[in-house]
Amino acid sequence: MNMEKGAMAKAPSNHVVSAWARLLRARDASLSRIEAELKAAELPPLAWYDVLLELRQAEGGKLRPFELEGRLLLEQHNVSRLIDRMEAKGLVRRIKLADDGRGQAVAITEEGRALQKKMWLVYGPAIEGHVGRKLAASEAATLAGLLQKLL
């Protein structure tokens, strides 16, 4: 019986398949409802919010692209073009680094900080309306704990 390492996984149980299928559906359904609210408020997509929030929380309001990549689970080329668009809107700006000629830093601007706050005014209530409202407080905590195990 060769069962070493992570290889040789067998077929999943019905409970596991059900959890996986519902993870996909619950995410798609909730996200599309929440994104619809942002869109109705004429705000940009959630990916922009995620970038702005990470930058705002970072030391000095800036991160290097590969750090954003890791935190947002994006790939390098996607980060590159996402930053392009956001820089074009004045939400972030690229800064050359003195100590490493290869790298740059992406810094949030005042406009970026303002947009992040403005988006949260819609995003927060949307999370509450489409997620929080459907769960008891203890259920939300349990769900957060179980999902943590999948990371």
Does the footprint of DNA cover residue 84 (CB under 7 A)? yes
Does the footprint of DNA cover residue 33 (CB under 7 A)? no
- For residue 20, is it left (φ>0), alpha (ψ between -120 and 50) or beta? alpha
Q: Which of 1, 3, 13, 42 binds a copy of itself (CB under 8 A)?
A: 13
Does the footprint of a copy of itself cover residue 2 (CB under 8 A)? no
- Pick from a copy of itself, DNA, none: which does 95 bind, CB < 5 to 8 A by kind? none
Q: Which of 65, 108, 115, 126 binds DNA (CB under 7 A)?
A: 65
Q: How far apart are CA 94 and CA 80, in angstroms?
A: 11
Q: Which of 1, 2, 9, 60 binds a copy of itself (CB under 8 A)?
A: 9
Among candidates 71, 68, 47, 49, which has minimal Cα distance to 116? Answer: 49
Nearer to DNA, 90 or 103 (CB): 103
Cα 99–100–102 angle (5° rounding)? Answer: 155
Helices (H) and strands (E) in the chain, counts: 6, 3
Contact footprint for DNA (CB under 7 A): 39, 47, 64-66, 74-85, 94, 100-105
